[in-house]
């Protein structure tokens, strides 16, 4: 993007400040870690499916336990993974806060709203490449939608931590948990589309080099 907003074609080859790069790759690692904890808690370390395993293992040492007793052991392992999920959740919440704060300190050309405004202005020009301009805007709106989804995920997650064991908040916690589960799928959908899109663009003339721009900061309009 050039210094005259709206006059030139918005480019996918943009400069990325150090803050956004650190934020981007840290968020990538933490979200992947978070998804791994969910996967483990729901499959390998799922409480119910491990009850027979606990009973069989103890049986081999001639100890017989009821399903309820075995459940508390299986549950302890499940809890451990959820604790990891919560620790990663705190880091993610911190990263989200960091993303909001440093937006105010970003160079104007890298701020979300001016970027969108610039692309809208560009689209109004008669000579604009409409396909490219709309595609660029769609990608930007996808980023904003992702930030909104992350906000919901952080709020519902923190609420679940806060409301744990609070009998009077049980119903709201249940709703928060449902929202949290649905938003996980929206975030997964975003990640799949985003990584596919970034990879496809990397092999295209207009986007070639954009992934390395996200690593080393990028040279504008190379």
On whether the CB atoms of residues 156 and 96 are closer than 8 A, the answer is no
Q: Which of 1, 34, 73, 81 binds ligand HEM (CB under 6 A)?
A: 34
Over the window 4 to 23, marking each residue x when it contacts ligand HEM by CB under 6 A and - when it does not, the resulting string is --------x-x-----x---
On whether the CB atoms of residues 169 and 156 are closer than 8 A, the answer is no
Which residue in the block uniquely carries the two structure tokens 């399903």?
Answer: 67
Q: Which of 101, 161, 172, 200 binds ligand HEM (CB under 6 A)?
A: 161
Tell me the DSSP string of 58-110: HHHTT----HHHHHHHHHHHHHHHHHHHHHHHHHHHHHHHHHHHHHTTS-GGG
Per CB under 6 A, contacts with ligand HEM among 168-197 are: 177, 180-181, 184, 187, 191, 194-195
Query: Is 122 near ligand HEM (CB under 6 A)?
Result: no
Q: How far apart are CA 208 and CA 211, in angstroms?
A: 8
Per CB under 6 A, contacts with ligand HEM among 41-80 are: none
On whether the CB atoms of residues 3 and 112 are closer than 8 A, the answer is no
Which residue in the block uniquely carries the two structure tokens 């938003």?
Answer: 183
Shortest spacing between CB 57 and ligand HEM, in angstroms: 24
Provide the binding-site residues for ligand HEM, judged by CB under 6 A. 12, 14, 20, 24, 27-28, 31-32, 34-35, 38, 82, 85-86, 89-90, 92-93, 112, 139, 143, 146, 153-154, 157-158, 160-161, 177, 180-181, 184, 187, 191, 194-195, 198-199, 210-211, 214
């Amino acid at each position: 993007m050039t210094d005259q907003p709206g006059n030139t074609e918005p480019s996918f080859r943009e400069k990325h400040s150090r803050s956004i790069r650190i934020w981007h790759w840290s968020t990538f690692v933490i979200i992947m870690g978070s998804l791994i904890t969910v996967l483990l808690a729901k499959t390998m370390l799922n409480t119910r499916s491990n009850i027979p395993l606990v009973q069989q293992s103890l049986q081999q040492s001639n100890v017989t336990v009821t399903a309820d007793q075995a459940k508390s052991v299986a549950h302890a392992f499940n809890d451990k993974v959820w604790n990891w999920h919560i620790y990663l959740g705190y880091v993610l919440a911190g990263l989200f806060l960091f993303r909001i704060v440093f937006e105010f300190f970003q160079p104007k050309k890298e701020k979300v709203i001016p970027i969108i405004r610039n692309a809208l202005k560009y689209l109004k020009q008669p000579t604009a490449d409409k396909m490219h301009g709309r595609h660029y805007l769609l990608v930007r709106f996808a980023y904003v939608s992702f930030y909104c989804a992350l906000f919901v995920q952080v709020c519902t997650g923190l609420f679940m931590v806060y409301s744990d064991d609070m009998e009077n908040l049980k119903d709201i916690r249940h709703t928060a948990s449902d929202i949290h589960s649905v938003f996980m799928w929206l975030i997964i959908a975003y990640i799949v589309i985003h990584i596919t899109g970034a990879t496809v663009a990397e092999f295209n003339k207009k986007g070639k080099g954009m992934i390395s721009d996200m690593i080393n900061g990028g040279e504008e309009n190379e």
